[in-house]
C-alpha cells in the first residue's frame, strides 16, 4: 500500500483520527493520535515528533526529541475506537541524523530480515508463534514497603467449586485438565471466537482456537505463519485485540507466563522455517524428514539457548514456568514428537512446505520483534558454522535416570542467569549490525535495574509462611 492509497482508504472509511503506534523497548505498544487532517503523503517521510525520554529504555532527557515515521503497509482501521480511526505502525528515527534508532525493536526485526538475505542462506524466515494466554474475571495486586499480594479469580477456577454463585453450576476445569473440554466446561468458546473474527477482520489469518490445559480460562489462538517482521507486527495486534475483546465483556486477558500456582504456565512455542526462492530449506532426508540445514539450525538454537532466553523469556515470572521436572521444556535437546524437548520437529504433515522446527522454550511476555530476531540469528549462526545438535532424544526426558539427565544441558533457571548468559554469548547477535552493542547493553541494564533487582530486594509473601516463626 502506498501513502496515497492510505489517504484514499482513510477517506473511503470516513476516518477522523490517525493513531500512531510503536513498540517500546520492553515490549508494549505505545501510541498517540492526530486528526486525519494532519496526515499527508509527506508524513510517511517526515514523521511526527515525540518525547523519547519518556519511553522505557530509550533516550536521556537531554536528547529526548525523536520521530515516529508511519509505514503505509501497516494501515488498518481500529476495531474498538468509537470514532473511525486509522492505525499506522511506525518506525523510529533520530530527528537530527534521520537515521533509524538502534533501540527501536521493529528496526532490529527489519535488519535481521535483511541480514538473512545477505548471507545467501535464504530470502524469507517464516515465524509461527503459539501464544497462550489466560482469561480472568478479576485481578487484584499491590506491593508496598510493608505488604504485597495478588488475587486472581475466574468463573472457571477450580477453586470456586464451593463458591456461592446463586446457583453454582459446577463445570470448572480441574488443574491440568482444561485441554479441549466442550462447553459448559469450556466457558469461553464464544469469547475466543469473537477474538478470532476480530483478528480476521484485520487481515490476520487464524488456524485454530481452543481451551488450554490449565484451569481458570487458559486458552490459545494460533496465527498462520508469516514472514518475521509481519508476524511481529501481528503479534502486537493479537495482544491488543484479545485484551480489548475481553475487556468489552468484563474479562481481562494476561500473557504473564505463570500467574497460577501448581498449574500449567503460558508458553509461546515458536515455529521457524527458512525459504529460498519459493523453496523450503528445512525439508530433507535427515532425521524426521528435515534437512541438514535444519539440523544445523537446531544446533544454533541449542548452543545459544541460554542467551536467547534473555529475549524469549524476558521476565522474572518466566522462570516460574521454566522449572526442571515440570511441564516446560527446559532440557536442551531435540526430538520429532517428544514435547519435553526444547526443540521439536512437528510431524503433523509430510509435506515439504510444512517442515519446520519448533522452539518450545519461549513465552508470550516477550517483545516479539527482538525475540524472533534473536532466534533467527541463532538459526543463521547454526547454519553458517555447521553446529551439530548431536543425536535426537526420543525418550521421555522426565523419566530418564539421574546419570543420563545430568548429561543434558538445561535452560536458565532465572532471568538473572539468562542475562548473565547474554553477557557471555552475544557475538552471534551482533553480526550484520542486527543487534547493536548499545541495544544489548541497554536491555541488560533495564532488566537488571527495573526487574531483577526490585524482585530480589522484596520479601516474597510465601517467605512469611516459611520463616516468620524462626
Q: Which residues are catalytic?
A: 51, 130, 132, 212, 220, 269, 339, 358, 360
What is the H or E stretch that residue 298 is in?
helix 292-312
Please, are residues 275 and 229 in contact by the beta-carbon 8 Å criterion? Answer: no
Other residues' Cβ atoms within 10 Å of the Cβ of residue 414: 17
Instruction: Return d(Cα 411, Cα 137) in angstroms, integer.
Output: 33
What is the H or E stretch that residue 236 is in?
helix 228-248
Q: How many helices (H) and strands (E) does the chain have?
A: 14, 18
Task: Give the residue from 117, 87, 122, 102 showing the smallest Cα distance to 282.
Answer: 122
Our CA angle for 408, 410, 416, nearest 5°, is 155
Please, are residues 331 and 341 in contact by the beta-carbon 8 Å criterion? Answer: yes
Any idea which residue has 543463521 for its cell? 380
Instruction: Return d(Cα 83, Cα 80) in angstroms, integer.
Output: 9
Please, are residues 125 and 41 in contact by the beta-carbon 8 Å criterion? Answer: no
Residue 206 φ/ψ, nearest 5 degrees: -120, 135
DSSP 8-class letter at 239: H
Task: Give the residue from 237, 192, 250, 194 showing the smallest Cα distance to 217.
Answer: 192
Q: How far is CA 390 from CA 296, 298, 340, in A?
A: 10, 10, 17
Instruction: Return d(Cα 220, Cα 74) in angstroms, integer.
Output: 25
Amino acid at each position: 500500500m502506498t501513502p496515497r492509497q492510505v489517504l484514499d482508504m482513510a477517506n473511503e472509511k470516513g476516518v477522523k483520527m490517525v493513531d500512531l503506534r510503536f513498540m517500546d523497548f520492553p515490549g508494549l505498544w505505545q501510541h498517540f493520535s492526530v486528526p486525519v487532517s494532519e496526515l499527508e503523503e509527506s508524513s510517511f517521510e517526515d514523521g511526527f515528533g515525540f518525547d523519547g525520554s519518556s519511553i522505557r529504555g530509550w533516550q536521556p532527557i537531554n536528547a529526548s526529541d525523536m520521530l515516529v515515521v508511519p509505514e503505509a503497509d501497516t494501515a488498518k482501521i481500529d476495531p474498538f475506537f468509537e470514532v473511525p480511526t486509522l492505525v499506522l505502525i511506525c518506525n523510529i528515527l533520530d530527528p537530527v541524523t534521520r537515521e533509524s534508532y538502534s533501540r527501536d525493536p521493529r528496526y532490529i526485526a527489519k535488519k535481521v530480515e535483511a541480514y538473512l538475505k545477505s548471507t545467501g542462506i535464504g530470502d524469507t524466515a517464516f515465524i509461527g508463534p503459539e501464544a497462550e494466554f489466560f482469561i480472568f474475571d478479576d485481578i487484584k495486586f499491590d506491593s508496598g514497603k510493608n505488604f504485597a499480594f495478588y488475587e486472581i479469580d475466574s468463573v472457571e477456577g477450580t477453586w470456586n467449586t464451593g463458591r456461592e454463585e446463586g446457583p453454582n453450576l459446577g463445570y470448572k476445569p480441574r488443574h491440568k485438565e482444561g485441554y479441549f473440554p466442550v462447553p459448559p466446561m469450556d466457558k469461553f468458546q464464544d469469547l475466543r471466537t469473537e477474538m478470532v473474527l476480530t483478528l480476521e477482520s484485520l487481515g490476520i489469518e487464524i488456524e485454530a482456537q481452543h481451551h488450554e490445559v490449565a484451569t481458570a480460562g487458559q486458552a490459545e489462538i494460533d496465527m498462520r505463519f508469516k514472514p518475521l517482521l509481519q508476524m511481529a507486527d501481528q503479534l502486537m495486534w493479537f495482544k491488543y485485540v484479545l485484551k480489548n475483546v475481553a475487556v468489552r465483556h468484563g474479562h481481562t486477558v494476561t500473557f504473564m507466563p505463570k500467574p497460577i500456582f501448581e498449574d500449567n504456565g503460558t508458553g509461546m512455542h515458536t515455529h521457524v522455517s527458512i525459504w529460498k526462492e519459493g523453496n523450503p530449506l528445512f525439508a530433507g532426508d535427515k532425521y524426521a524428514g528435515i534437512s541438514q540445514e535444519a539440523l544445523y539450525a537446531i544446533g544454533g538454537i541449542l548452543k545459544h539457548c541460554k542467551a536467547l532466553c534473555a529475549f524469549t523469556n524476558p521476565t522474572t515470572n518466566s522462570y516460574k514456568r521454566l522449572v526442571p521436572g515440570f511441564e516446560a521444556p527446559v532440557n536442551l535437546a531435540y526430538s520429532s514428537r517428544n514435547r519435553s524437548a526444547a526443540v521439536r520437529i512437528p510431524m503433523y504433515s509430510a509435506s515439504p512446505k510444512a517442515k519446520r522446527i519448533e522452539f518450545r522454550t519461549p513465552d508470550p511476555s516477550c517483545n516479539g520483534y527482538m525475540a524472533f530476531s534473536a532466534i533467527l540469528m541463532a538459526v543463521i549462526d547454526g547454519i553458517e558454522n555447521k553446529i551439530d545438535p548431536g543425536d535426537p532424544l526420543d525418550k521421555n526426558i522426565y523419566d530418564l535416570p539421574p546419570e543420563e539427565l545430568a548429561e543434558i544441558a538445561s535452560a536458565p533457571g532465572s532471568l538473572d542467569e539468562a542475562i548473565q548468559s547474554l553477557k557471555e554469548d552475544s557475538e552471534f547477535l551482533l553480526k550484520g549490525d542486527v543487534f547493536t552493542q548499545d541495544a544489548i547493553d541497554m536491555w541488560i541494564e533495564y532488566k537488571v535495574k527495573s526487574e531483577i533487582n526490585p524482585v530480589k530486594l522484596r520479601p516474597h509473601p510465601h517467605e512469611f509462611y516459611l520463616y516468620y516463626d524462626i
